[in-house]
A and B are shown apart, each in its own frame.
Chain A
Amino acid sequence: DAGITQSPRHKVTETGTPVTLRCHQTENHRYMYWYRQDPGHGLRLIHYSYGVKDTDKGEVSDGYSVSRSKTEDFLLTLESATSSQTSVYFCAISPGTARHGYTFGSGTRLTVV
């Protein structure tokens, strides 16, 4: 996906361990988002950022934290991974009006065992 990169692409981790997912953009967009996608639930917003050091919670933020120290990087941390956090995680970016939609990354497939 042009301008947005997620890492890692796949990860298997054990219950109780901390995990950090990274989203990197080269578009200089102000807004960045973390979603999780699960069967039957669609895309659910975890956290979002509207600028460096400016973040806010989404609808499923419990157990997750985020940080944005640079415009281009938005990190999602699972403080202590649980099996219910097994999911596909997508990062998205937007210049700020949402009128033309978000651009999504390719996703990170996380399995918590």
Chain B
Amino acid sequence: QKEVEQDPGPLSVPEGAIVSLNCTYSNSAFQYFMWYRQYSRKGPELLMYTYSSGNKEDGRFTAQVDKSSKYISLFIRDSQPSDSATYLCAMSEGRDDKIIFGKGTRLHILP
């Protein structure tokens, strides 16, 4: 079992829809959870990070962590064509500088 699993997609949704992106993980020691957005031919950029379980909201984006299920989600409300990108989840135990990345989900928002 890989440490972090993420559906590669592509996921296509109409503009204005709510998008749900997810990752599962196997290491119960992970405590810090991140989402990166990567536009085509660009480097990944940090979108959100959360600590432990719970929700964190930033504008149209909500990150959710369920440590009991080892499951994290990123929700995008009122999706826009500019949200079309690859989204990578990432996580860390926080004891050292090691981050484990998911392989990313390609998202297409259809105008």
| Cβ-closest chain A residue relative to B34 | A101
Whole-angstrom distance between the Cβ of A83 and the nearest chain B Cβ = 21
Q: What 0/1 readout, one digit per residue, does chain A (95-111) give for beta carbons within 8 Å of chain B? A: 01111111111110100
List 12 interface pairs A-B (beta carbons < 8 Å), by A numbering: A43-B44, A43-B88, A43-B103, A90-B44, A98-B97, A98-B98, A99-B51, A99-B92, A101-B36, A105-B43, A107-B42, A109-B41
Sort chain B's interface into a size bin: 20 to 34
- Asked if B43 and A107 make an inter-chain contact with CB atoms under 8 angstroms apart, the answer reads yes
Chain B residues within CB distance 8 Å of chain A: 8, 32, 34, 36, 41-46, 49, 51, 88, 90, 92, 94, 96-99, 101-104
Residue positions of A touching B, CB distance < 8 A: 1, 31, 40-43, 50, 90, 94, 96-107, 109
Centre residue among A41, A100, A102 by max chain B CB count within 10 A: A102
Docked Cα-Cα span, A105 to B42, in Å, equals 8
Q: Binding site of A, secondary structure by majority: helix, strand, loop or mixed?
A: loop
Measured CB to CB, the nearest residue on chain B to A43 is B101
> Are B96 and A42 interface neighbours, CB within 8 A?
no
Q: Is the CB of B97 within 8 A of A50?
A: yes
User: B97 contacts A101, CB within 8 Å?
Assistant: no
Q: Distance in Å from the Cβ of B68 to the closest Cβ of chain A?
A: 21
**A100 cross-chain contacts in B, Cβ below 8 A:** 32, 34, 46, 49
| Minimum distance in angstroms from B33 CB to a CB of chain A | 10
**Beyond known contacts A103-B46, A104-B36, A107-B42: 12 more, CB 8 A cutoff:** A31-B97, A42-B103, A43-B44, A50-B97, A94-B97, A97-B94, A99-B51, A100-B32, A101-B46, A101-B99, A102-B46, A109-B41
